[in-house]
Structure 1
Amino acid sequence: MAKFSEEKAEKELKKGQKNFSAEKLKDLLQKEDSLFAKFLNVTNLKEYTDDFIDLFSLLRDWYQGRYKDVPWLVISSIGGALLYVLSPIDLIPDFIPVIGYLDDAAVIAALVKYVRVDLADYRNWKEAEEV
């Protein structure tokens, strides 16, 4: 089985980040159910379900103007990575049994590593908002 390297995942993350736009964010926000189903049903992505929920919530709160304490670079990274996961045709096409989602999981892992501080800040903000 071919390994999807951390370097390839980071390269895809940066490519998605560069190609992401406010218009794509608007479209992505309408695909929450499809993404959530993928994270729940794909073995390689299940471990990132909680991160996905918070990342998507961050996107939504940023878009709606409730949370702006994050740079566009982080928003575009999250959006680009989620669009990568949503695409069935990427570096390792999703229809390939067993390995089809390895690249998706690697890109999400790279994303979580990249935005860990911003995601922690958002989680703290969200927790404080709920009190």
Structure 2
Amino acid sequence: MSKIDKETIRKEHKKRQDDFEEEDIDDVLEDEDAIKSKFENKGKLQRYLDDAVILFSLLKDYAKGNYREVPFNVIAAIGGALLYVLSPIDLIPDFIPIIGYLDDAAVVAFCLNLIEKDLITYKLWKKKKV
């Protein structure tokens, strides 16, 4: 099993982010229920469920053209992280009891930290729209 540290998580997320393209947004949105179910039911990921809801909201608003105030690399960071959670093949395979989702949670946390300012701006925009 790979050693999981901040640098390993950063590299893994960067790879997923770099591979993410605009047409991949639809794939993430199509898998929303499957991805959210992992957040709802899997230990360390549960603490990020509310964040996942906001991330999906941002992706939807971006895809519909309602909110384009973020650079695409932010969308790619979100999409890459969410697809990482869905993937059974990652740094720590999901089927390993107890620790199988630690890397997923770490990738999501890394992504949230990376896009924090853009996420705050989006939340403020969203609040005004209500």
Q: How would you bin the TM-score normalised by the shorter chain?
A: over 0.9
Q: Which runs of 5+ in 2 are unaligned?
A: none
TM-score under structure 2 normalisation? 0.96
Question: What does residue range 95-114 of structure 1 map to in structure 2 within 5 Å?
Answer: 95-114=95-114
| Residues 4, 106 of structure 1: 8 Å contact kept | no
Question: What does residue range 4-83 of structure 1 map to in structure 2 within 5 Å?
Answer: 4-83=4-83
For 1:66 and 1:3, the matched residues in 2 are separated by 40
Letter in 2 for 1:88: P
> Once superposed, what is the RMSD of the aligned Cα atoms?
1.4
How many aligned positions are there? 130
What's the offset of the Cα at 1:3? 6.1
Counting aligned pairs with the same residue, the percent is 52
What's the offset of the Cα at 1:9? 1.1
Q: How far does the alpha carbon of each residue in 1:11-63 deviate from its partner, in whole angstroms, 9 at most, with x for none?
A: 11110110001221111111111111110101110111111100111011000
What residue number does 1:90 align with?
Answer: 90
Q: Which runs of 5+ in 1 are unaligned?
A: none
| Residues 17, 73 of structure 2: 8 Å contact kept | yes
For 1:67 and 1:99, the matched residues in 2 are separated by 36
For 2:93 and 2:76, the matched residues in 1 are separated by 23
